Amino acid sequence: MAKSPLTLYLAAPRGFCAGVDRAIKIVEMAIEKWGAPVYVRHEIVHNKFVVDGLRDRGAIFVAELDQVPNDRPVIFSAHGVPKAIPAEAARREMVYVDATCPLVSKVHIEAERHSEAGLQMVMIGHAGHPETIGTMGQLPQGEVLLVETVDDVATLAVRDPERLAFVTQTTLSVDDTAEIVAALRARFPAIVGPHKEDICYATTNRQAAVKEVAPKIDALLVIGAPNSSNSKRLVEVGRNAGCAYAQLVQRATDIDWRALDGIRSVGVTAGASAPELLVKEVIDAFRARFDTTVEIVETATERVEFKVPRILREPA
Protein backbone atom coordinates (compact mmCIF):
# COMPACT_ATOMS: atom_id res chain seq x y z
CA MET A 1 0.00 0.00 0.00
CA ALA A 2 1.35 3.44 -0.94
CA LYS A 3 2.40 5.59 1.99
CA SER A 4 0.80 9.02 2.22
CA PRO A 5 3.15 11.98 1.73
CA LEU A 6 4.29 13.96 4.75
CA THR A 7 6.80 16.78 5.24
CA LEU A 8 8.87 16.86 8.42
CA TYR A 9 10.15 20.33 9.27
CA LEU A 10 13.21 19.98 11.50
CA ALA A 11 13.78 23.05 13.66
CA ALA A 12 17.38 24.20 14.02
CA PRO A 13 18.91 24.84 16.46
CA ARG A 14 17.48 21.97 18.54
CA GLY A 15 18.77 19.47 21.08
CA PHE A 16 21.93 19.69 23.16
CA CYS A 17 23.21 23.10 24.22
CA ALA A 18 26.80 23.82 25.27
CA GLY A 19 25.96 23.57 28.99
CA VAL A 20 24.39 20.12 28.62
CA ASP A 21 27.23 18.94 26.39
CA ARG A 22 29.74 20.05 29.03
CA ALA A 23 27.82 18.44 31.92
CA ILE A 24 27.67 15.04 30.18
CA LYS A 25 31.36 15.30 29.26
CA ILE A 26 32.16 16.06 32.93
CA VAL A 27 30.52 12.79 34.08
CA GLU A 28 32.24 10.78 31.32
CA MET A 29 35.65 12.30 32.09
CA ALA A 30 35.18 11.77 35.85
CA ILE A 31 34.47 8.05 35.28
CA GLU A 32 37.56 7.87 33.06
CA LYS A 33 39.72 9.66 35.63
CA TRP A 34 38.57 8.09 38.91
CA GLY A 35 36.87 4.90 37.71
CA ALA A 36 33.34 3.78 38.60
CA PRO A 37 31.33 4.54 40.57
CA VAL A 38 31.14 8.30 40.33
CA TYR A 39 28.22 9.90 42.18
CA VAL A 40 25.99 12.60 40.70
CA ARG A 41 23.72 14.72 42.90
CA HIS A 42 20.37 14.87 41.04
CA GLU A 43 19.96 14.10 37.33
CA ILE A 44 22.96 15.63 35.55
CA VAL A 45 20.52 16.93 32.91
CA HIS A 46 16.78 16.34 32.57
CA ASN A 47 16.75 13.42 30.14
CA LYS A 48 16.10 9.78 31.03
CA PHE A 49 17.95 8.45 27.97
CA VAL A 50 21.10 10.42 28.87
CA VAL A 51 20.88 9.55 32.58
CA ASP A 52 20.36 5.82 31.87
CA GLY A 53 23.35 5.84 29.48
CA LEU A 54 25.62 7.37 32.12
CA ARG A 55 24.27 4.98 34.77
CA ASP A 56 25.29 2.06 32.53
CA ARG A 57 28.82 3.48 32.43
CA GLY A 58 29.14 3.73 36.20
CA ALA A 59 27.40 6.90 37.38
CA ILE A 60 25.22 6.63 40.49
CA PHE A 61 22.51 9.31 40.77
CA VAL A 62 21.47 10.35 44.25
CA ALA A 63 19.05 12.90 45.70
CA GLU A 64 21.34 14.29 48.40
CA LEU A 65 24.98 14.54 49.39
CA ASP A 66 24.57 12.34 52.47
CA GLN A 67 24.03 9.37 50.12
CA VAL A 68 27.58 9.74 48.78
CA PRO A 69 30.51 7.97 50.48
CA ASN A 70 33.34 10.36 51.41
CA ASP A 71 35.91 8.47 49.35
CA ARG A 72 34.12 8.76 45.97
CA PRO A 73 33.91 11.81 43.70
CA VAL A 74 30.59 13.62 43.41
CA ILE A 75 29.32 15.82 40.57
CA PHE A 76 26.73 18.59 40.92
CA SER A 77 24.15 18.81 38.13
CA ALA A 78 24.06 21.36 35.29
CA HIS A 79 21.14 23.17 36.98
CA GLY A 80 23.31 24.49 39.81
CA VAL A 81 23.17 23.92 43.57
CA PRO A 82 22.62 26.03 46.69
CA LYS A 83 25.87 27.34 48.26
CA ALA A 84 25.47 25.00 51.23
CA ILE A 85 26.12 21.90 49.03
CA PRO A 86 29.74 22.56 47.93
CA ALA A 87 30.42 23.93 51.42
CA GLU A 88 29.29 20.61 52.94
CA ALA A 89 31.35 18.63 50.38
CA ALA A 90 34.43 20.70 51.28
CA ARG A 91 33.77 20.18 55.01
CA ARG A 92 33.69 16.41 54.38
CA GLU A 93 36.91 16.72 52.30
CA MET A 94 35.21 15.14 49.30
CA VAL A 95 36.40 15.40 45.73
CA TYR A 96 33.63 17.27 43.92
CA VAL A 97 33.13 18.65 40.43
CA ASP A 98 30.59 21.38 39.75
CA ALA A 99 28.86 20.82 36.38
CA THR A 100 26.66 23.93 36.77
CA CYS A 101 26.13 25.51 33.36
CA PRO A 102 28.34 28.64 33.13
CA LEU A 103 25.25 30.66 32.10
CA VAL A 104 23.52 29.59 35.34
CA SER A 105 26.69 30.44 37.31
CA LYS A 106 26.53 33.91 35.72
CA VAL A 107 23.04 34.37 37.25
CA HIS A 108 24.40 33.21 40.66
CA ILE A 109 27.19 35.81 40.50
CA GLU A 110 24.70 38.50 39.46
CA ALA A 111 22.43 37.70 42.44
CA GLU A 112 25.37 37.86 44.86
CA ARG A 113 26.63 41.14 43.40
CA HIS A 114 23.22 42.80 43.83
CA SER A 115 22.84 41.39 47.33
CA GLU A 116 26.26 42.77 48.35
CA ALA A 117 25.07 46.17 47.10
CA GLY A 118 22.15 45.91 49.56
CA LEU A 119 19.44 45.02 47.03
CA GLN A 120 16.74 42.43 47.72
CA MET A 121 16.43 39.94 44.86
CA VAL A 122 13.36 38.90 42.89
CA MET A 123 13.73 35.69 40.91
CA ILE A 124 11.47 34.91 37.96
CA GLY A 125 11.35 31.12 37.83
CA HIS A 126 9.45 27.92 38.55
CA ALA A 127 9.05 26.85 42.18
CA GLY A 128 10.75 23.53 42.90
CA HIS A 129 12.87 23.50 39.73
CA PRO A 130 16.50 22.61 40.63
CA GLU A 131 17.83 25.73 38.90
CA THR A 132 15.51 27.97 40.92
CA ILE A 133 16.45 26.17 44.17
CA GLY A 134 20.16 26.55 43.28
CA THR A 135 19.93 30.25 42.46
CA MET A 136 17.79 31.12 45.50
CA GLY A 137 20.24 29.08 47.61
CA GLN A 138 23.13 31.44 46.76
CA LEU A 139 21.76 33.96 49.27
CA PRO A 140 20.44 33.71 52.82
CA GLN A 141 16.83 32.64 53.36
CA GLY A 142 14.34 35.40 52.56
CA GLU A 143 16.77 37.42 50.44
CA VAL A 144 15.30 36.07 47.18
CA LEU A 145 11.58 36.38 46.44
CA LEU A 146 10.16 34.06 43.77
CA VAL A 147 7.63 35.14 41.16
CA GLU A 148 6.19 32.68 38.64
CA THR A 149 3.45 34.77 36.99
CA VAL A 150 2.38 38.35 36.31
CA ASP A 151 -0.24 37.93 39.09
CA ASP A 152 2.52 37.13 41.62
CA VAL A 153 4.05 40.58 41.01
CA ALA A 154 0.93 42.31 42.37
CA THR A 155 1.17 40.53 45.74
CA LEU A 156 4.95 40.76 46.18
CA ALA A 157 5.85 42.05 49.66
CA VAL A 158 9.28 43.66 49.40
CA ARG A 159 11.55 45.21 52.02
CA ASP A 160 12.17 48.45 50.12
CA PRO A 161 10.72 49.13 46.64
CA GLU A 162 13.70 51.41 45.91
CA ARG A 163 16.29 48.66 46.61
CA LEU A 164 15.38 45.75 44.33
CA ALA A 165 16.94 43.73 41.53
CA PHE A 166 15.72 40.75 39.50
CA VAL A 167 17.21 37.66 37.86
CA THR A 168 15.53 34.89 35.88
CA GLN A 169 15.77 31.16 35.42
CA THR A 170 17.65 30.49 32.15
CA THR A 171 15.04 28.16 30.60
CA LEU A 172 11.86 30.27 30.67
CA SER A 173 9.54 31.35 27.87
CA VAL A 174 11.00 34.52 26.38
CA ASP A 175 7.52 36.03 25.81
CA ASP A 176 6.06 35.14 29.24
CA THR A 177 9.18 36.47 30.99
CA ALA A 178 8.97 39.77 29.10
CA GLU A 179 5.42 40.22 30.47
CA ILE A 180 6.55 39.52 34.05
CA VAL A 181 9.52 41.90 33.70
CA ALA A 182 7.17 44.61 32.38
CA ALA A 183 4.90 44.08 35.42
CA LEU A 184 7.88 44.31 37.80
CA ARG A 185 9.13 47.53 36.17
CA ALA A 186 5.62 49.04 36.28
CA ARG A 187 5.19 48.30 40.00
CA PHE A 188 8.84 48.93 41.02
CA PRO A 189 10.31 51.53 38.63
CA ALA A 190 13.67 51.48 40.47
CA ILE A 191 14.17 47.70 40.04
CA VAL A 192 17.57 46.77 38.55
CA GLY A 193 17.66 44.11 35.82
CA PRO A 194 20.49 42.07 34.32
CA HIS A 195 22.77 43.78 31.75
CA LYS A 196 21.71 41.13 29.30
CA GLU A 197 18.73 38.78 29.44
CA ASP A 198 19.32 35.82 31.81
CA ILE A 199 17.34 33.46 29.55
CA CYS A 200 20.14 31.58 27.83
CA TYR A 201 21.01 31.71 24.14
CA ALA A 202 19.95 28.07 23.63
CA THR A 203 16.47 28.55 25.12
CA THR A 204 15.97 31.74 23.08
CA ASN A 205 17.21 30.12 19.84
CA ARG A 206 15.10 26.97 20.22
CA GLN A 207 11.96 29.03 20.88
CA ALA A 208 12.67 31.28 17.86
CA ALA A 209 13.08 28.21 15.60
CA VAL A 210 9.70 26.82 16.77
CA LYS A 211 8.01 30.17 16.02
CA GLU A 212 9.50 30.01 12.51
CA VAL A 213 8.30 26.43 11.93
CA ALA A 214 4.79 26.88 13.44
CA PRO A 215 3.04 28.49 10.40
CA LYS A 216 4.17 25.62 8.13
CA ILE A 217 2.89 22.69 10.19
CA ASP A 218 -0.25 20.82 11.30
CA ALA A 219 1.44 19.34 14.38
CA LEU A 220 4.55 19.85 16.51
CA LEU A 221 6.53 17.19 18.36
CA VAL A 222 9.01 18.31 21.00
CA ILE A 223 11.47 15.61 22.02
CA GLY A 224 12.30 16.07 25.69
CA ALA A 225 11.65 14.95 29.24
CA PRO A 226 8.47 15.80 31.19
CA ASN A 227 10.65 17.41 33.92
CA SER A 228 12.63 19.51 31.42
CA SER A 229 11.62 23.17 31.76
CA ASN A 230 13.00 24.28 28.39
CA SER A 231 11.27 21.37 26.57
CA LYS A 232 7.89 22.16 28.13
CA ARG A 233 8.33 25.82 27.15
CA LEU A 234 8.86 24.74 23.50
CA VAL A 235 5.44 23.02 23.53
CA GLU A 236 3.84 26.21 24.91
CA VAL A 237 5.64 28.39 22.34
CA GLY A 238 4.35 26.11 19.53
CA ARG A 239 0.76 26.35 20.81
CA ASN A 240 1.00 30.12 21.26
CA ALA A 241 2.34 30.43 17.71
CA GLY A 242 -0.83 28.79 16.39
CA CYS A 243 0.07 25.10 16.30
CA ALA A 244 -3.11 23.39 17.51
CA TYR A 245 -1.43 20.02 18.18
CA ALA A 246 1.87 20.34 20.06
CA GLN A 247 3.10 17.41 22.14
CA LEU A 248 6.07 16.54 24.30
CA VAL A 249 7.45 13.03 23.58
CA GLN A 250 10.40 11.37 25.28
CA ARG A 251 11.16 9.30 22.19
CA ALA A 252 9.57 7.75 19.07
CA THR A 253 7.66 5.10 21.05
CA ASP A 254 5.65 7.89 22.75
CA ILE A 255 4.20 9.30 19.49
CA ASP A 256 0.41 9.10 19.31
CA TRP A 257 0.03 8.10 15.65
CA ARG A 258 -3.79 8.23 15.78
CA ALA A 259 -3.61 11.93 16.63
CA LEU A 260 -1.49 12.47 13.50
CA ASP A 261 -3.92 10.67 11.20
CA GLY A 262 -4.47 12.66 7.99
CA ILE A 263 -1.77 15.20 8.84
CA ARG A 264 0.52 16.40 6.02
CA SER A 265 3.22 18.39 7.84
CA VAL A 266 4.86 17.93 11.23
CA GLY A 267 7.46 20.08 13.00
CA VAL A 268 10.12 18.34 15.08
CA THR A 269 12.39 19.95 17.65
CA ALA A 270 14.23 18.78 20.76
CA GLY A 271 14.84 20.36 24.15
CA ALA A 272 18.37 21.35 25.19
CA SER A 273 18.97 18.08 27.06
CA ALA A 274 17.67 15.70 24.35
CA PRO A 275 20.31 13.91 22.23
CA GLU A 276 20.19 14.01 18.42
CA LEU A 277 19.96 10.20 18.44
CA LEU A 278 16.34 10.54 19.65
CA VAL A 279 15.57 12.99 16.83
CA LYS A 280 16.91 10.47 14.31
CA GLU A 281 14.75 7.77 15.93
CA VAL A 282 11.63 9.98 15.43
CA ILE A 283 12.55 10.68 11.77
CA ASP A 284 12.99 6.93 11.15
CA ALA A 285 9.58 6.24 12.75
CA PHE A 286 7.94 8.72 10.34
CA ARG A 287 9.80 7.24 7.36
CA ALA A 288 8.46 3.80 8.28
CA ARG A 289 4.87 5.09 8.12
CA PHE A 290 4.86 7.94 5.58
CA ASP A 291 6.48 8.94 2.32
CA THR A 292 8.56 11.47 4.24
CA THR A 293 10.35 14.58 3.02
CA VAL A 294 12.63 16.27 5.55
CA GLU A 295 13.19 20.03 5.45
CA ILE A 296 15.43 21.92 7.86
CA VAL A 297 14.29 25.32 9.13
CA GLU A 298 17.36 27.04 10.58
CA THR A 299 17.11 30.37 12.40
CA ALA A 300 20.55 30.55 14.05
CA THR A 301 23.94 28.85 14.13
CA GLU A 302 25.37 27.98 17.53
CA ARG A 303 29.11 27.84 18.10
CA VAL A 304 29.19 28.13 21.89
CA GLU A 305 31.56 25.81 23.77
CA PHE A 306 32.35 25.67 27.47
CA LYS A 307 35.53 24.25 28.97
CA VAL A 308 35.30 21.47 31.55
CA PRO A 309 36.63 22.27 35.05
CA ARG A 310 40.43 22.21 35.49
CA ILE A 311 40.32 19.25 37.91
CA LEU A 312 39.28 17.00 35.00
CA ARG A 313 41.94 18.35 32.63
CA GLU A 314 44.74 17.57 35.09
CA PRO A 315 46.20 14.04 35.22
CA ALA A 316 44.92 11.80 38.02
Q: Which residue among the candidates 28, 110, 131, 212 is catalytic per the annotation?
A: 131
Give the count of beta carbons closer than 10 Å to the beta carbon of residue 293. Answer: 11
Q: Is 302 one of the catalytic residues?
A: no
Q: Contact at 8 Å (CB) between 123 and 166?
A: yes
* Helix pair angle (201-213, 229-240), 10° resolution: 30
- Determine which helix (DSSP H) or strand (DSSP E) holds 238, and give its type and residue range: helix 229-240
265 bridge partner residues: 7
DSSP string, 47-87: -HHHHHHHHHHTEEEESSGGGS-TTS-EEE-TT---THHHH
DSSP E strands in the chain: the ranges are 5-12, 38-41, 59-62, 74-76, 96-98, 120-124, 144-147, 164-168, 219-223, 245-249, 265-270, 291-298
DSSP E strands in 203-263: the ranges are 219-223, 245-249
Give the count of beta carbons closer than 10 Å to the beta carbon of residue 266. Answer: 25
Distance separating alpha carbons of residues 243 and 234, to the nearest angstrom: 11
* Residues whose CB is less than 8 angstroms from the CB of residue 94 and which lie 6 or more positions away in sequence, other chains included: 68, 70, 73, 74
Distance separating alpha carbons of residues 264 and 90, to the nearest angstrom: 57
Torsion angle (degrees, nearest 10) of CA 165, 170, 176, 182: 20
Residues known to be catalytic:
131
